[in-house]
Structures are given as structure tokens and as C-alpha cells.
Amino acid sequence: MPDSQTLAVAVTESGPEDLATQRFLLDLALQPLDRFKGFTQLEQIGGSALRYQLNYICYSLSMAQYTRTPAFTGYLAEAQANTIRKMCDKRVWGTTASPRSPRPSSAICGRARTPCTPANPI
């Protein structure tokens, strides 16, 4: 097995679909930090949570930079940094309250009739 010094990634060109996807992700990532236009905002507990969308945007952009344009930084690096900065927004990580649930505990514990507390687990 070759050691890590001899491993090299083959840099290839992006196809039209790859470029279209990358352009879409760049548009999402390069908008102002307080905006989430174009993101799916159904709920913040399951798979459509903003944190997952931001993570996968960053994963995709970093993989594109690593395998397609390793020498380019510019706005691609800025987009990756923006996705990391957007993760600090309370709308991304604040899962204890949602517009649909007035009680802070109901967002975590579901639609329970009794509040979810350490003394009263559901």
C-alpha cells in the first residue's frame, strides 16, 4: 500500500451538470450571512435542518475545490468560509424553539402533553 506522500488525486474537469450544481451552491453560500434565501426551511430537527444543508454545501464545495480546482481559492474559499460562519447563526443551531411549537421543550420532545424535563422524561 502506498504511503500518504505518494497518493495524488487526479484533477479532472467539471461537466456541465457539475458546474450548474456548483453555481447553485455558490449562489447559496455567497449571499449575505444573515440571509437564507433558497434554503429549505421546513423544520430544524430532521433532515431539512439548515445545519445539514450548510454542511453538505461545504462538503460539496470543498470536494469540488480538491478534485477540480485545487489551485483556485478566491470566491470558492469565501463561499466555504461563509457556510462555516452561517453555522453560528442561532436559526441554524437553535433547535429548542420553533414557530410551530410555543413551548421550548416541545421542539425536542415532540407533541407531548407533559413537558419534557430530566425529572419527567418521555
Question: Does 121 fall in a domain?
Answer: no
Question: Does 37 fall in a domain?
Answer: yes
User: What integer pLDDT is reported at residue 84 of this predicted model?
Assistant: 94
* Structure letter (DSSP) for residue 64: H
Q: Which triple of cell numbers denotes residue 82? A: 461563509
User: What integer pLDDT is reported at residue 38 of this predicted model?
Assistant: 93
Written as one letter, the residue type at 76 is: L
Question: Does 106 fall in a domain?
Answer: no
Q: Which domain holds residue 22?
A: 16-95
- Count the domains in the chain: 1
Asked if 92 contacts 50 with a C-beta cutoff of 8 angstroms, the reply is yes
User: What integer pLDDT is reported at residue 82 of this predicted model?
Assistant: 95
Instruction: Give the residue ranges of the chain where pLDDT is below 70.
Output: 1-7, 95-122
* Structure letter (DSSP) for residue 9: P
Question: Does 11 fall in a domain?
Answer: no
Question: Does 66 fall in a domain?
Answer: yes
Asked if 14 contacts 8 with a C-beta cutoff of 8 angstroms, the reply is no
Question: Does 75 fall in a domain?
Answer: yes
Question: Does 69 fall in a domain?
Answer: yes
Distances (CA, A) of 53 to 44, 95, 110: 11, 15, 22
H-assigned helices in the chain = 16-29, 50-67, 74-86, 90-93, 106-109
Question: Does 109 fall in a domain?
Answer: no
Beta-bridge mates of residue 101: 98
Q: Which triple of cell numbers denotes residue 75? A: 470566491
